[in-house]
């Protein structure tokens, strides 16, 4: 079996079940959509080598309403020609500051806040550099279908500070990039941010 097709099947079934549960009124329809959700969790658990599908069902239950992609925002903050990266406590690897976008905040507001919370620095956004389908850029698989928004920004203040999620903060030249947290950002995306920094006239890249 294609090593990615099971994830696509599981996500599509999950989306059908989530949207169905949002609008279903008949108790028999609700029961059917719950069964579809369990099937999607079983597919995902089997494909990922996880023995406890119930944990994935609980994860899916946290998403309600019409099923849409999740949104991850990242900020490439430059100080001259050096790029700000933070080290994740979760895996000990480096990434652009960012994370899931919070409901009630605009994308740019989310990006600036993530920089402040994860690094201690203040930034000013320059441009939206890229909008990516996460599945098309070599990231390890995760349960949710995700769009990634990358902003280029300039440093305007603050000082390095760790957070509950990060235990390292530093600026790096393009040829000094440390090992990256590939779940969050890839080397190709880092290179692309440096290119956008050098070419502010470039339009936004998108899939």
**The domain spanning residue 78 has which CATH number?**
3.90.79.10
| pLDDT one-digit tens code per residue, 3-56 | 578 878 888 888 888 888 888 888 888 888 888 888 888 887 777 676 666 777
Which of the two residues, 79 and 39, has the higher pLDDT score?
79
Same domain, 75 and 157: yes
Domain boundary among 15, 39, 61: 61
Share of the chain above pLDDT 90, in %: 61
Same domain, 25 and 119: no
Which of the two residues, 53 and 207, has the higher pLDDT score?
207
Kindly tell me the burial class for residue 40, based on how many C-beta atoms sit within 10 Å of its own C-beta (0-12, 13-18, 19 or more).
buried
Same domain, 165 and 133: yes
Same domain, 21 and 97: no
Same domain, 46 and 78: no
Same domain, 98 and 147: yes
Confidence check: pLDDT of 103 > 90? no
Q: How far apart are the first and last CA of the chain?
A: 26
**Amino acid 1: pLDDT:** 44
Same domain, 133 and 160: yes
Same domain, 137 and 184: yes
Confidence check: pLDDT of 59 > 80? no
| pLDDT one-digit tens code per residue, 105-126 | 999 999 999 999 999 999 999 9
Q: Model pTM? A: 0.75
Confidence check: pLDDT of 2 > 60? no
Confidence check: pLDDT of 80 > 50? yes
CA 119 – CA 166 distance, rounded (Å)? 8
CA 171 – CA 114 distance, rounded (Å)? 16
Same domain, 84 and 139: yes
Same domain, 90 and 190: yes
| pLDDT one-digit tens code per residue, 162-184 | 999 999 999 999 999 999 999 99
| pLDDT one-digit tens code per residue, 139-160 | 998 878 899 999 999 999 999 9
Enclosing domain of residue 56? 5-61
In what helix (H) or strand (E) does residue 10 lie, and over which residues does it extend? helix 5-23
- Give the chain's mean pLDDT: 90
Confidence check: pLDDT of 206 > 80? yes
Confidence check: pLDDT of 77 > 60? yes
**Amino acid 180: pLDDT:** 98
Same domain, 84 and 151: yes
Rounded to 10 degrees, what is the CA torsion of 163, 90, 15, 44? -170
Which of the two residues, 139 and 62, has the higher pLDDT score?
139
- What mean pLDDT comes out for the span 188-192? 98
Same domain, 75 and 92: yes
Domain boundary among 16, 36, 61: 61
Total domains present in the chain: 2
């Amino acid at each position: 079996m294609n090593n990615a097709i099971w994830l696509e099947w599981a996500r599509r079934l999950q989306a059908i079940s989530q949207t169905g549960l949002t609008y279903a009124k008949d108790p028999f329809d609700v029961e059917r959509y719950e069964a579809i959700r369990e099937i999607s969790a079983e597919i995902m658990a089997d494909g990922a080598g996880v023995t406890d599908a119930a944990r994935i069902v609980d994860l899916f239950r946290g998403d309600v309403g019409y099923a849409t992609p999740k949104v991850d925002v990242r900020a490439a903050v430059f100080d001259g020609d050096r790029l700000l990266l933070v080290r994740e406590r979760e895996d000990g690897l480096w990434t652009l500051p960012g994370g899931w976008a919070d409901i009630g905040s605009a994308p740019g507001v989310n990006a600036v806040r993530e920089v402040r919370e994860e690094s201690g620095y203040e930034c000013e956004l320059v441009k939206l550099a890229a909008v990516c389908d996460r599945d098309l850029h070599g990231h390890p698989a995760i349960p949710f279908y995700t769009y990634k928004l990358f902003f280029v920004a300039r440093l305007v203040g603050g000082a390095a500070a760790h957070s509950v999620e990060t235990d390292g903060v530093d600026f790096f030249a393009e040829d000094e990039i440390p090992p990256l947290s590939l779940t969050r950002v890839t080397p190709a995306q880092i290179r692309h941010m440096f290119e956008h920094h050098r070419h502010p006239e470039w339009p936004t890249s998108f899939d």
